[in-house]
Structure 1
Amino acid sequence: MESIKNSITFSGDGLPNSPQILADNIKNLPNINDIKPDSYSIGGIVEDLELKFSKIFNKEKSIFLPTGTLANHLAIRELSGVNSKVIVPEQSHIYQDSGDTLQSLSGINLIPSGLNSPCYELSELKEIISKNNISRVPKKIGCIVIESPVRRQQGKVIPYEQMKLITDFAKSNNIKTHLDGARIYMMSAATKIPIQKYSSIFDTVYCSLWKYFGAPWGAILSGPEKIIEGMQHTRRMFGGSIPNSSLNAAIILNGISNFENKMNNAYDQGIILFKMLNDSEKFKIYFNDNHSNVFQMHVDTKDNYNKIKSNLINNNIYLPDLNRETYGIINSKNTVDIRINISLLNQPIEEIYKHFMNATS
Structure 2
Amino acid sequence: MIDLRSDTVTKPTAEMRKAAYEAEVGDDVYNEDPTVNKLEEKAAEMLGKEAALFVTSGTQGNQIAVLTHCRIGNEIIVEENSHIFNYEGAAISAFAGVQPRTIRGVRGAMNPADVEAAIQEDDIHAGETGLICIENTHNRAGGAVVSLENMEEIYKIASKNHIPVHLDGARLFNAAVALQRPVKDIAKYTDTVQFCLSKGLGAPVGSIIAGSEVFVKQARKWRKRLGGGMRQAGIIAAPGLVALQTMVERLAIDHKNARKLADGLMNINGIKVVNQVDTNIILVDVSERGLTSNQFAQLLKENGVLVSTFGPQLVRFTTHYDVSVESIEKTLQIIKDL
**TM-score, normalising length from structure 1?**
0.76
Distance between the aligned counterparts of 1:308 and 1:55, measured in 2?
43
Query: CA shift at 1:222, angstroms?
Result: 0.7
Structure 1 residues 25 and 171, CA gap change in structure 2 (3 angstroms) = same
Alignment equivalent of 1:330, drawn from 304, 308, 311: 311
Conserved 8 A contact 1:38-1:44: no
Distance between the aligned counterparts of 1:204 and 1:136, measured in 2?
28
Query: CA shift at 1:56, angstroms?
Result: 1.6
RMSD: 3.5
Count of aligned positions: 331
User: Which secondary structure state, in structure 2, belongs to the residue aligned with residue 87 of structure 1?
Assistant: strand
Per the alignment, residue 10 of structure 1 pairs with: 4
Conserved 8 A contact 2:52-2:210: yes
Q: Are positions 1:212 and 2:239 aligned together?
A: no
Alignment equivalent of 2:322, drawn from 332, 337, 343: 343
Q: Are positions 1:292 and 2:279 aligned together?
A: yes
Structure 1 residues 295 and 117, CA gap change in structure 2 (3 angstroms) = closer
Per the alignment, residue 170 of structure 2 pairs with: 182
Conserved 8 A contact 1:298-1:336: yes
Conserved 8 A contact 1:308-1:360: no
Give the partner amino acid of 2:64: L
Deviates more, 1:351-360 or 1:104-113: 351-360
Alignment equivalent of 1:244, drawn from 221, 228, 232: 232
Conserved 8 A contact 1:148-1:184: yes
Per the alignment, residue 161 of structure 2 pairs with: 173
Conserved 8 A contact 1:71-1:219: yes
Conserved 8 A contact 1:157-1:290: no
Displaced runs of 4 or more, over 6 A = 301-311
Alignment equivalent of 2:94, drawn from 100, 104, 119: 104
Structure 1 residues 215 and 128, CA gap change in structure 2 (3 angstroms) = same
Distance between the aligned counterparts of 2:140 and 2:259, measured in 1?
22
User: Which secondary structure state, in structure 2, belongs to the residue aligned with residue 338 of structure 1?
Assistant: strand
Query: CA shift at 1:248, angstroms?
Result: 0.9
User: What 5-or-longer segments of structure 1 have no aligned partner?
Assistant: 2-7, 314-318
Structure 1 residues 39 and 159, CA gap change in structure 2 (3 angstroms) = closer
Decide which structure has the larger Cα Rg and report it.
1
**TM-score, normalising length from structure 2?**
0.81
Q: Are positions 1:146 and 2:134 aligned together?
A: yes
Distance between the aligned counterparts of 1:152 and 1:40, measured in 2?
35
Per-residue CA deviation, residues 130-167 of structure 1 (Å, 9 max, x unaligned), is xx325246764222111223333333333332222111
Per the alignment, residue 44 of structure 2 pairs with: 54
